A and B are shown apart, each in its own frame.
Chain A
Amino acid sequence: GAGVSQSPSNKVTEKGKDVELRCDPISGHTALYWYRQSLGQGLEFLIYFQGNSAPDKSGLPSDRFSAERTGGSVSTLTIQRTQQEDSAVYLCASSRGLDADTQYFGPGTRLTVL
């Protein structure tokens, strides 16, 4: 079946602009995660959605970052007023939501802030 998809695959933006990154999880997966991968910080957890529960936003680095998940499926990560340090690959993953279930990762969105 189809895996996790993310769009766009690449995004170049200017400092100060807002960007939206999209994630389509595997159908039927109730858990959805966003991670960020950068040279300096490695792989960092950003935010976690599980079903209809309130999301775990504990990994968001600042209030410029937000995410939503509509209808328990597609998720959008929004970065407002982008900064150069936001340049990274943003990875989305989904799982069935059970304890220690395998997380399946999308190919990522490479964000470059000029």
Chain B
Amino acid sequence: AQSVTQLGSHVSVSEGALVLLRCNYSSSVPPYLFWYVQYPNQGLQLLLKYTTGATLVKGINGFEAEFKKSETSFHLTKPSAHMSDAAEYFCAVIGQGSQGNLIFGKGTKLSVKP
């Protein structure tokens, strides 16, 4: 069975600082990994995903994530935070060969201080 752990339910950074949101997964089969963002009172929007190939994945809004199999991690980073990045971020996994439903982490709420 797949599972996802996001370390830190709340992360606060200053505008212009590095953003690092942590995600570790558990999967008995090679995983597909996703990061979604949810702005207040809105649905989820895909930031980026890893399926196969290059382990460093670039997404929208300057975010990127690196799949590290040895560490079972898929941390999300952005070099310089912007006020508009304040939102909740969810890491999710699908096991290859599964029905395709996403297994989500608990989410990390990112605050950006001016």
Contacts and interface: CB of A to CB of B under 8 A. Distances in A.
Interface of A: 4, 31, 33, 35, 42-45, 48, 50, 56, 59, 91, 93, 95, 97, 99-108
A95 B43 CA distance: 15
Interface of B: 32, 36, 41-46, 49, 51, 90, 92, 94, 96, 99-107
A64 to B, nearest CB: 20
B101 A91 contact: no
Dominant SS at the A interface? strand
A23 to B, nearest CB: 11
B84 to A, nearest CB: 19
A56 B99 contact: yes
A48 B98 CA distance: 12
Given A43-B90, A91-B44, A103 B102 contact: yes
A85 to B, nearest CB: 18
